Amino acid sequence: MTRDKLWGGRFTQPTDKFVEQFTASIEFDKRLYDQDIRGSIAHARMLGKQGIIHQDDVDKIVRGLQSILKQIEAGKFDFSIPLEDIHMNIEARLSEKIGEAGKRLHTGRSRNDQVALDIRLYLRDEIGEIITLLGLLSDALLSQAEANIDTIMPGFTHLQTAQPILFAHHLMAYIEMLKRDRARMEDCLKRVNVMPLGAGALAGTTFPIDRDYVAKQLRFPAITRNSLDSVSDRDFALEFLAASSILMMHLSRFSEELIIWSTSEFQFVELSDSFCTGSSIMPQKKNPDVPELVRGKTGRVYGNLMALLTVMKSLPLAYNKDMQEDKEAIFDTVDTVKGCLRIFAEMIAEMRVNERKMRKAAELGFSTATDVADYLVRKGLPFRDAHEAVGNAVQYCIENEMDLSELSLAEWQLFSPYFTRDIFDAITVEASVNARNVAGGTARDRVWSEILRCRERK
């Protein structure tokens, strides 16, 4: 018999050493120690309340688990690969410490519902931290938006100059994305925050357990309703990975803009030296390593989502060993998202904005051409005719290497008799920005009201 295994009763040969290493998860799931112990304490107290084990045993189990928690946090706990996972490592150590009482802890539960509980507790804790970090990044963006409420930059489509906008308006676009990211995390939390313990291996248990009591102890608002689904569900983890992938996509888009804006060709912003590195050969270089790495790390989060989707796609009910592959994808995504949010918030807070460069760029590239067309429409010309007239004016400027602002009134009137001297007031970048005084527009008053709205909701 393989007496070194807690499940070894029906086996007559020892586990192959490489199989032990290949199948063990302790090297990565040991980070669930806190959640595993919290769940075990709640389970033990329920067993005592229900009279399934004696209260003296409950007291010994709780004290023993609390002692093991302190031991792990002090770095004095030796994790064992032959014991496979965090659950069996803790349970074996508990039995060593308190004897027979420790062997009663696993009554009425399985590692299948135990790990489902641990992952839900872990994600609940981590999603809360991610929501907090989203708030910190939003605060940093809001502060930059407030400081740059009068900074005008070119807005782009197809990475070509389109229309003048406020830099604050551009930053507020990312705040809207982060709001949705937060809402997705909060909504995901509803599916995470359901208590699976009591499902057993797959069919429930013959013992008169009180699942609602355990849920209340662990602050779960609800329990799972089907034992098969309870142990085989990883939808909540996939939902978290999907929400994280969208969040990272937003950070990657912003990273791309920061990288472009930091170039000598743009010089719109300068990132603090604290978030950049130099070149080993080119003394002049200041490389935007942080946004580049965030952009790169987005791919690993996408990969984690695809990996777990692929693991789950063909699994019959209920638990299968394949599902052990969920943890590294979850852990890596949590670490990546939290790290990216934390460093991004700090980087944005220290970012310096070159208002002069932004404004100069906004005045180039015929960015007020749409305003000229709108001007003609207000004079009575149909929009399509106005569009053609301004297109002709732009072509004239290109051929003569000049900008719209450099045209004389006589030249304007070459393209339409509707042009009068007030055209010169209509084509400034300030006029262009403030003319868009609609809800969600880039006019200063609208942007400022959105900043205040976001501040009030904090």
> Looking at residue 283, what is its pLDDT?
86
Q: Is the predicted pLDDT of residue 391 greater than 70, yes or no?
A: yes
Q: Of the candidates 70, 88, 89, 71, which has an alpha carbon nearest to the alpha carbon of residue 79?
A: 89
> Looking at residue 5, what is its pLDDT?
60
Residue 224, classed as helix, strand or coil, is coil
**Domains of the chain as residue ranges with CATH:** 8-107 (1.10.275.10), 112-205+225-359 (1.20.200.10), 361-456 (1.10.40.30)
Whether 246 and 184 have beta carbons less than 8 Å apart is answered as yes
Q: Of the candidates 267, 439, 281, which has an alpha carbon nearest to the alpha carbon of residue 360?
A: 267
Q: Of the candidates 345, 341, 304, which has an alpha carbon nearest to the alpha carbon of residue 185?
A: 341
pLDDT confidence bin for 421, thresholds 50/70/90: very high
Q: Is the predicted pLDDT of residue 3 greater than 60, yes or no?
A: no
Task: Region of 416 please: left (phi>0), alpha (psi -120 to 50) or beta.
Answer: beta
Q: Is the predicted pLDDT of residue 20 greater than 80, yes or no?
A: no
158, 264, 314, 408: the active-site residue: 158
Q: How far apart are CA 428 and CA 164, in angstroms?
A: 9
Residue percentage of the chain with pLDDT more than 70: 95
> Looking at residue 26, what is its pLDDT?
86
Model pLDDT for residues 49-76, shown as the tens digit of each residue = 999 999 999 999 999 999 999 999 999 9
Residue 286 structure tokens: 């200041």
Q: Is the predicted pLDDT of residue 17 greater than 90, yes or no?
A: no
Average predicted confidence (pLDDT) for the chain: 95
Rounded mean pLDDT of 330-343? 98
Residue 316, classed as helix, strand or coil, is coil
Note if 170 is an active site residue: no
Specify the range with the lowest mean pLDDT, choosing from 37-46, 97-106, 248-257, 273-282.
273-282
Q: How far apart are CA 96 and CA 64, in angstroms?
A: 10
Give the containing element (helix H, strand E) for 374.
helix 369-378
> Looking at residue 428, what is its pLDDT?
95
Q: Is the predicted pLDDT of residue 1 greater than 50, yes or no?
A: no
pLDDT confidence bin for 24, thresholds 50/70/90: confident
pLDDT confidence bin for 285, thresholds 50/70/90: confident
Q: Which regions of 167-237 does DSSP assign to beta strands (E)?
A: 194-195, 222-223
Note if 250 is an active site residue: no
Q: Which residues of 137-161 are buried (b: 16+ CB within 10 A; e: fewer)?
A: bbbbbbebbeebeebbbbbbeeeeb
Rounded mean pLDDT of 17-39? 85
Q: Is the predicted pLDDT of residue 300 greater than 90, yes or no?
A: yes
Read off the amino acid at residue 454: C
DSSP state, 273?
G
Rounded mean pLDDT of 12-30? 74
Q: Is the predicted pLDDT of residue 33 greater than 80, yes or no?
A: yes
54, 272, 274, 279: the active-site residue: 279
Q: Is the predicted pLDDT of residue 450 greater than 50, yes or no?
A: yes
> Looking at residue 15, what is its pLDDT?
63
Q: Is the predicted pLDDT of residue 318 greater than 50, yes or no?
A: yes
Q: Is the predicted pLDDT of residue 425 greater than 70, yes or no?
A: yes
Rounded mean pLDDT of 166-183? 98
- Helix, strand, coil percent content, the chain, rounded in steps of 5: 65, 5, 30
Whether 72 and 81 have beta carbons less than 8 Å apart is answered as no
Q: Of the candidates 228, 225, 224, 223, which has an alpha carbon nearest to the alpha carbon of residue 203?
A: 228
Model pLDDT for residues 426-436, shown as the tens digit of each residue = 999 999 999 99
Q: Is the predicted pLDDT of residue 316 greater than 50, yes or no?
A: yes
Rounded mean pLDDT of 72-82? 95
Rounded mean pLDDT of 358-369? 95
Q: How far apart are CA 438 and CA 258, in angstroms?
A: 28
> Looking at residue 12, what is its pLDDT?
61
Rounded mean pLDDT of 105-118? 97
Q: Is the predicted pLDDT of residue 27 greater than 70, yes or no?
A: yes
Model pLDDT for residues 435-445, shown as the tens digit of each residue = 999 999 999 99
Q: How far apart are CA 247 and CA 255, in angstroms?
A: 12
